[in-house]
């Protein structure tokens, strides 16, 4: 098959690596890809959010399967357009992507089938929203309903702290139209975890659970980022808990979507919080997580393209995927200053030395580019240094050994990725 991968981050590098190992993959293209992806794919100068150009490229390159990494093109209907062109697409329709792109819709869908989630009210009027938060005596989470690049959520332990973010979202429009509607939720407490599942609209294939690390600083301090590291599996999610998540959350939500618009085809990302009252949904996303995809692909032992085609052909029940029993840990190395301003263009060294430590180590590129023949940082999150180990502690040690080999001016990483899991096991 000719395959086109849409995206150019760490998630897409991990996907490209696995796709290129498939016996079904003849030729892999990426739009736009990155220097890491370029090891396995022909990178095309097409933006991942330019749906018309992606469809044109898919036709020109006689693509059989399009795999979409990020949410934005899905929300804008890329999967619908690709399918209309007679090409298989791994990723949900625009109607399916609403589960991520419209948090008010997701909340409504969860409420209709009693999926456990934070209690919430939805507002389109600033004054009513302000009045509501000031009437609360517990913490709240304020969320812009639309896509805000992972930055549209503000958690406010004291209700009055919600006034400023509400004004910014609804009045100053810091997230544009994404903040026209806001959701105000009760603040939940507990550990967070991610469960990803292949979904073909009817069949659900949950993957091993993961934990992300959103805040920039050690000990979960400082502002939120896209994710500073992830590991899998998660000791707090045992088999019965996983079964409960499938039964109480995944099955009802996939059924609800089928009734609402038809089949959801792709990966469903469920962000969960383990509250004293059990697991509750924080958010659904319509794609693989980043960086969650990186440790997940390290553990994936099946044929990824076979699984993706089975999703597209509604035959997920015929697929068997094996997972490496060894845990995986991914440490994200970022540009100094991220998630605020940072300097680009510094030369990155040491990736080869890091990977030379062994087959249990992979360095995934996220925000890198080639400049005058040198590899440089161009994004906030730059690399995902990922390792397998016999235990989570061993994988963590290996990942940090690899991190030690890699340098550029101002590079930063958290020093405590997976520490929570090691403490609890
Ligand atoms: P999201 O962008 O929806 O993943 O939210 C970002 C982060 O905000 C989550 O990972 C949680 O840490 C936090 N968060 C979201 N909703 C809530 C909530 N209802 N209670 C407490 N924290 C929340
Ligand atoms: N790592 C969080 C996300 O991909 O949404």
What is the radius of gyration, based on Cα positions, of the chain?
Answer: 21
Q: Which CATH architecture describes the domain 188-425?
A: 2-Layer Sandwich (3.30)
For the CA of 211, the nearest ligand = 2
pLDDT score of 424 more than 80: no
Tell me if 2-93 shares its fold with 188-425.
Answer: no
pLDDT over 70 percentage in the chain: 100
Confidence class for position 63, pLDDT limits 50, 70, 90: very high
Architecture of domain 2-93: 3-Layer(aba) Sandwich (3.40)
pLDDT digit string (tens) for 131-156? Answer: 999 999 999 999 999 988 777 899 99
What distance in angstroms lies between residue 420's CA and the mean position of ligand 1's atoms?
Answer: 18
Q: For residues 289 and 306, what is the distance between their CA atoms, to the nearest angstrom?
A: 20
Task: Please state the domain extents for the chain.
Answer: 2-93, 125-180, 188-425
For ligand 2, the distance from its centroid to the CA atom of residue 262, given in whole angstroms, is 25
d(CA 73, CA 63): 18
Domain at 125-180, CATH class:
alpha beta
360 touches ligand 1 (CB under 6 Å): no
Indicate the pTM of the whole model.
0.96
Q: Is 140 in the pocket of ligand 1 (CB under 6 A)?
A: no
Tell me, using a 6 A CB cutoff, whether residue 292 lines ligand 2.
yes
Which atom in ligand 2 lies closest to the alpha carbon of residue 212?
A: 1
Q: Is any atom of ligand 2 closer than 6 Å to the C-beta of 212?
A: yes
Query: What does the pLDDT read at residue 329?
Result: 98
């Amino acid at each position: 098959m000719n395959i086109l991968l849409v995206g150019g981050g760490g998630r897409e590098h991990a996907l490209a690596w696995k796709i290129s190992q498939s016996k079904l993959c003849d030729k892999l293209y990426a739009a736009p890809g990155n220097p890491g992806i370029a090891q396995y794919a022909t990178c095309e100068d097409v933006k991942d959010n330019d749906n018309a150009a992606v469809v044109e490229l898919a036709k020109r390159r006689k693509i059989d399967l399009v795999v979409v990494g990020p949410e934005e093109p899905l929300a804008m209907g890329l999967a619908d357009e690709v399918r209309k062109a007679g090409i298989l697409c791994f990723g949900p329709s625009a109607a399916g992507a609403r589960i991520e792109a419209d948090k008010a819709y997701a909340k409504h869908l969860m409420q209709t089938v009693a999926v456990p989630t934070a209690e919430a009210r939805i507002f389109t009027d600033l004054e009513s929203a302000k009045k509501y938060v000031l009437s609360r005596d517990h913490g709240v989470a304020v969320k812009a309903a639309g896509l805000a690049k992972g930055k549209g959520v503000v958690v406010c332990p004291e209700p009055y702290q919600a006034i400023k973010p509400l004004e910014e979202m609804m009045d100053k429009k810091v997230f544009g139209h994404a903040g026209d509607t806001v959701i105000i939720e009760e603040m939940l407490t507990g550990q967070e975890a991610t469960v990803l599942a292949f979904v073909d609209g009817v069949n659900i294939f949950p993957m091993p659970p993961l934990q992300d690390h959103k805040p920039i600083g050690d000990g979960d301090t400082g502002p939120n980022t896209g994710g500073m590291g992830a590991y899998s599996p998660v000791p707090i999610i045992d088999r019965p808990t996983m079964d409960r998540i499938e039964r109480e959350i995944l099955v009802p939500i996939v059924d609800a979507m089928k009734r609402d618009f038809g089949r959801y085809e792709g990966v469903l990302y469920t962000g969960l919080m383990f509250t004293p009252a059990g697991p509750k949904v924080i958010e659904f996303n319509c794609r693989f997580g980043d960086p969650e995809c990186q440790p997940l692909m390290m553990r994936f032992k099946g044929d990824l393209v076979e699984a993706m085609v089975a999703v597209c052909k509604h035959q997920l029940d015929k697929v068997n995927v094996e997972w490496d029993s060894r845990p995986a840990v991914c440490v994200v190395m970022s540009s100094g200053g991220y998630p605020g301003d940072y300097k680009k263009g510094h030369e990155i060294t040491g990736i080869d030395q890091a990977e030379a430590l062994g087959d249990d180590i992979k360095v995934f590129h996220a925000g890198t580019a080639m400049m005058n023949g040198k590899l440089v940082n161009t994004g906030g999150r730059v690399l995902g240094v990922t390792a397998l180990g016999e235990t989570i502690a061993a994988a963590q040690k290996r990942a940090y050994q690899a991190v030690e080999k890699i340098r550029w001016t101002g590079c930063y990483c958290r020093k405590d990725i997976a520490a929570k899991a090691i403490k609890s096991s």
